[in-house]
Amino acid sequence: LEEIRSLPKLELHAHLSGSITQQKLIEMLERRGDGAAFTPFNCKADRSNALAKCFDYFAKVASVITDLDALKESTLHVLDHFAAERCIYLELRTSPKQFKVSSQNGFDGDAKLTSKLQYLETVRDAIQEFHSKALQRFGFIMEVRILLSVDRGKVTSKESALAQIDDILEMQKVHPDLVVGIDVCGNPHANTVKPYLLPALLERSYAFQKLPITFHTAEIPDDEESELIIDSMLKLNIRRLGHVTYLPDKCRRRVLHGIFADGGVGIEICPTSNMITKEIPSLDDHHFMDWWQKSDKILLSVNTDDVGLFSCDLSSEIYDLATAFRLSRQDVISIQRQAIRSAFHPDTARLSKMFDDMLSSPPKL
């Protein structure tokens, strides 16, 4: 494990709210005199109905992160966490929220809301503050970019889907260097993407040609939806697929065969998260081997999803996967290089150089 900790690594699939450790959430609540309000959550203890419990957990996090100050503090905490893991590139995803501004007299009947752009700019401020001290604190500067998430759980009509997408596209236009892609996430039980979300995305497909999408795919068994997503990959520039836990064989074969003429498809594996949502007891039954070394059109990455929710970290995720499938150090390095190639960062050559430099000068333990 220590050997993996010392390796440079990439994180391509981490949700901001889910990446705040539970300890940090409790600390923030205690400062408000409200520490007892948070019951620590152990999803490994009881895996029944796991996905629903995960979404209850995000509601709990939202009750802690209720203003821009809390957002900034928690983002800084997440950045520190990944830098301490020797993560050289963090592609952090989040769906921008609006917070109530408490009014002067404490009466919030007509409370104003902060804007989604303020949310993004607060995250940007946290990244800048983190960068100002990163070299001194960690010995290297972790690159950070943002993916803005479309939350399928909040889609109730094609109009509401378009409204979410358009908000995100507007924000991306304001911060094109920071926002490098779109994520589609949210509760897959809430509704299928067929009636509203996919048609809305297709209506804006021109916008995604320069702004790639990563899509949470086949988290629950739904062959029809999986096929629709795979059918849309070219049109929507869906360059990466998250989880693919229950991807039907037919779809998997199409992805292995290759979708894009100019590059591979990124497959984002999140070992603990996949195990919990699939309700399997060990990684032995994980679908990693369906993809590993099966095609040069596949770019694998190993990620955490939500370190707070799943009480895991990047090194332990890679270690557990490497142990379960007897991966060598070179295999682990090969996966990191695949992750670099599937990153949405505009300068993957720079990430490659950074990776090689850090590989040849490991930290003194």
Mode of pairing for the β-strands spanning 213-217 and 179-185: parallel
In this complex, which beta carbon is closest to ligand 5GP, that of residue 215 or of residue 355? Answer: 215
How far CA 263 is from CA of 24, 35, 189, in Å, comes to 39, 48, 32
Q: Which of 75, 149, 164, 304 binds ligand 5GP (CB under 6 A)?
A: 149
- Mapped onto helix, strand or coil, the DSSP state of residue 145 is strand
When asked if residue 305 is in the footprint of ligand 5GP (CB under 6 A), the reply is yes
- Mapped onto helix, strand or coil, the DSSP state of residue 263 is strand
When asked if residue 351 is in the footprint of ligand 5GP (CB under 6 A), the reply is no
When asked if residue 317 is in the footprint of ligand 5GP (CB under 6 A), the reply is no
Closest CA relative to residue 192, chosen from 174, 171, 217: 217
When asked if residue 73 is in the footprint of Zn ion (CB under 5 A), the reply is no
Site string for Zn ion, 304-323 (x = CB under 5 A): -x------------------
When asked if residue 186 is in the footprint of ligand 5GP (CB under 6 A), the reply is yes
When asked if residue 306 is in the footprint of ligand 5GP (CB under 6 A), the reply is yes
In sequence order, which residues have a C-beta less than 8 Å from that of residue 133 and are 6 or more positions away?
none
In this complex, which beta carbon is closest to ligand 5GP, that of residue 25 or of residue 327? Answer: 25
Q: Which of 188, 212, 271, 308 binds ligand 5GP (CB under 6 A)?
A: 188
Per DSSP, 259 falls in state S
When asked if residue 212 is in the footprint of ligand 5GP (CB under 6 A), the reply is no
Minimal distance in Å, beta carbon 90 to Zn ion?
A: 14
When asked if residue 16 is in the footprint of ligand 5GP (CB under 6 A), the reply is yes
Cα dihedral value 239, 244, 247, 249, nearest 10:
80
| Structure tokens given for 173 | 């236009």
When asked if residue 287 is in the footprint of ligand 5GP (CB under 6 A), the reply is no
Instruction: Tell me which of Zn ion, ligand 5GP, none is bound by residue 320, counting a contact when its beta carbon lies within the kind-specific cut-off of 5 to 8 angstroms.
Output: none
When asked if residue 91 is in the footprint of ligand 5GP (CB under 6 A), the reply is no
Residue type, 289: M
> What span, in angstroms and rounded, lies between the C-alpha atoms of 165 and 178?
17
When asked if residue 345 is in the footprint of ligand 5GP (CB under 6 A), the reply is no
When asked if residue 94 is in the footprint of ligand 5GP (CB under 6 A), the reply is yes
Interactions with ligand 5GP, residue window 323-342 (CB under 6 A): none
Q: Which helix (H) or strand (E) segment is 19 a member of?
A: none
Which neighbouring-strand residues pair with 263? 260
- Mapped onto helix, strand or coil, the DSSP state of residue 217 is strand
When asked if residue 11 is in the footprint of Zn ion (CB under 5 A), the reply is no
| Structure tokens given for 171 | 């924000």
- Mapped onto helix, strand or coil, the DSSP state of residue 262 is coil
When asked if residue 268 is in the footprint of Zn ion (CB under 5 A), the reply is no
In this complex, which beta carbon is closest to Zn ion, that of residue 91 or of residue 305? Answer: 305
Query: Please, what is the angle between helix 22-31 and helix 68-84, to 10°?
Result: 150
Check if the beta carbon of residue 163 is closer than 8 Å to that of residue 193. no
Per DSSP, 260 falls in state B
When asked if residue 17 is in the footprint of ligand 5GP (CB under 6 A), the reply is yes
Count of residues that interact with ligand 5GP, criterion CB under 6 A? 18
Q: Which of 22, 74, 75, 95 binds ligand 5GP (CB under 6 A)?
A: 95
When asked if residue 172 is in the footprint of ligand 5GP (CB under 6 A), the reply is no
Minimal distance in Å, beta carbon 124 to ligand 5GP?
A: 14
> What span, in angstroms and rounded, lies between the C-alpha atoms of 302 and 335?
8
In this complex, which beta carbon is closest to ligand 5GP, that of residue 13 or of residue 252? Answer: 13
Instruction: Tell me which of ligand 5GP, Zn ion, none is bound by residue 16, counting a contact when its beta carbon lies within the kind-specific cut-off of 5 to 8 angstroms.
Output: ligand 5GP
> What span, in angstroms and rounded, lies between the C-alpha atoms of 199 and 202?
5
Interactions with ligand 5GP, residue window 214-273 (CB under 6 A): 216, 219, 273
CB 86: neighbour CB atoms within 10 A? Answer: 21
> What span, in angstroms and rounded, lies between the C-alpha atoms of 58 and 129?
26
Q: Which residues bind Zn ion (CB under 5 A)?
A: 305
Give the binding site for ligand 5GP (CB under 6 A): 15-18, 58, 94-95, 149, 151, 153, 185-186, 188, 216, 219, 273, 305-306
